Amino acid sequence: MNRAKIIELAIAEVGYKETGVNITKFGERFGLQGPWCGMFISIICLDASFPLPALGWPKGFCSVPAALKAWISSKTDDPKPADLVIFDWEKGTPKEGAADHVGFFLGWLDWDAGLFITAEGNIQNEAKVCIRNTKHVAAFLNISTLKNT
């Protein structure tokens, strides 16, 4: 697995925008149009010659909750570049518990403050690099150890 290649490909997509509501080239290649953060991850990994385990779809996953459930054994407290970040936007509220979104971890911006950088698809209808806070993280997943459980 080449983490640098995954990051290179993800960064190259920054600025890509949907052509309609959740209509993307990632969905076209994945075989399904819809919310596309997981499809973005799956297609980037496929293009980096690191296909993810099939999770309901031959080319990877589209359901973030299913991915977290299936791959929880890959949870890590020490994420490396290209690891997956599963977000729970309601973490710390009564609605906590839903895995809402996924992106690639790129690196720490300020470890003490819990700030890190990601590459993500389907953020305001496009692919972006984002600054995120650990307060919204459901799990970091070591991409090199993913396997369906």
Compute, in degrees rounded to 10, the torsion defined by CA atoms 88, 89, 95, 97. Answer: 0
Structure confidence at residue 94 (pLDDT): 64
- Token pair 């993913």 is at which residue? 146
pTM beyond 0.85: yes
State the 10-residue block means of pLDDT for the chain, 149 residues long: 96 97 96 96 97 91 93 96 94 75 98 97 97 96 87
Query: 3-144, which class in CATH?
Result: alpha beta
Helix axis angle, 37-47 to 3-12, nearest 10°: 130
Domain ranges of the chain: 3-144
